[in-house]
């Protein structure tokens, strides 16, 4: 059974659940068994990671406790593989899953693999300041021969502001997409590496090729879940 760590944020959790079930129902009538544990994310933690000041902070200690507890609760509930629709915390979760000997579908790995499969060579990353600073995507894309471009300081402040707007259900996707088109004029495409920007994907696709990390995760997790079930049935 696939275990989903939700609450980071809630709308991304709902989108992942819908995407997984829709993908399954489009090819067969039986839906995958899923278990969701929604963690109690706090505003202090959220703001620290969005602003890129979580390293070695109480916010980082707090989120590690929440993720470790979620992994144990999902394991106790029967989950045999973990996914989480949040880019910024992927490496934190990966380390916890390794220590717990729990398989984990890494969102950044799934997205980088999709970009490589499409044959792109240079992409613009839209993500939180923390995700950009940690090199979550840059390392994975570079290993596949793909250059990862991040916005300059002023543009990154606009990205962080748009993420905050999306969290608060404010602002318009169209205006932001127009700005991104200018930043990405010399890139082959855009990677949306923040699930809070998933609502902007349609507007962005009017300008360029877009890789939605949430959909890349759903595709990878759905495929693995199907393979697991087929192996057990065989």
Taking residues 90-111, report their average pLDDT: 96
CATH number of 2-106+215-233: 3.40.50.1860
Higher pLDDT, 155 or 227: 155
Rounded to whole angstroms, the Cα distance separating 46 from 42 reads 6
Model confidence at 29, pLDDT cuts 50, 70, 90, reads low
Residue 7 has phi, psi (to 5 degrees) of 95, 0
Higher pLDDT, 78 or 31: 78
* pLDDT score at 9: 81
The least confident of 17-26, 36-45, 153-162 is 17-26
Give the whole-angstrom CA distance, residue 208 versus residue 188.
8
Range(s) for CATH 3.40.50.1860 in the chain?
2-106+215-233, 108-213
pLDDT of residue 175: 86
- Does the pLDDT value for residue 119 go beyond 90? yes
User: Residue 227: its pLDDT value, please?
Assistant: 61
Q: What is the mean pLDDT of residues 198-212?
A: 93
Per-residue pLDDT at 234 exceeds 60: no
CA distance 1 to 177: 37
pTM for the predicted model, two decimal places: 0.90
Residue in the block written with tokens 């963690």: 39
What are phi and psi for residue 5, nearest 5 degrees?
-90, 115
Cα separation, 89 vs 41, in Å, equals: 12
Fold of 108-213: Rossmann fold (3.40.50)
């Amino acid at each position: 059974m696939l275990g989903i760590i939700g609450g980071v944020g809630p709308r991304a959790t709902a989108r992942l659940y819908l995407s997984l079930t829709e993908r399954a129902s489009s090819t067969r009538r039986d839906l995958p068994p899923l278990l969701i544990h929604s963690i109690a994310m706090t505003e202090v933690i959220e703001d620290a990671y969005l602003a890129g000041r979580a390293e070695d902070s109480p916010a980082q200690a707090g989120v590690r406790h929440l993720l470790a507890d979620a992994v144990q609760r999902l394991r106790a509930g029967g989950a045999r593989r973990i996914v989480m629709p949040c880019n910024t915390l992927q490496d934190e979760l990966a380390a916890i899953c390794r220590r717990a000997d729990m398989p984990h579908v890494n969102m950044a790995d799934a997205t980088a693999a999709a970009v490589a499969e499409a044959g792109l060579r240079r992409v613009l990353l839209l993500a939180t300041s923390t995700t950009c600073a940690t090199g979550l995507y840059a390392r994975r894309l570079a290993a596949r021969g793909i250059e990862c471009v991040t916005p300059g300081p002023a543009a990154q402040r606009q990205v962080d502001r748009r993420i905050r707007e999306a969290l608060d259900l404010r602002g318009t996707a169209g205006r932001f997409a127009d700005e991104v088109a200018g930043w990405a004029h010399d890139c082959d495409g855009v990677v949306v590496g923040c699930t809070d920007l998933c609502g902007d994907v349609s507007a962005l696709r009017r300008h360029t090729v877009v890789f939605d990390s949430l959909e890349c995760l759903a595709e990878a997790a759905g495929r693995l879940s199907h393979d697991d079930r087929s192996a057990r049935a065989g």
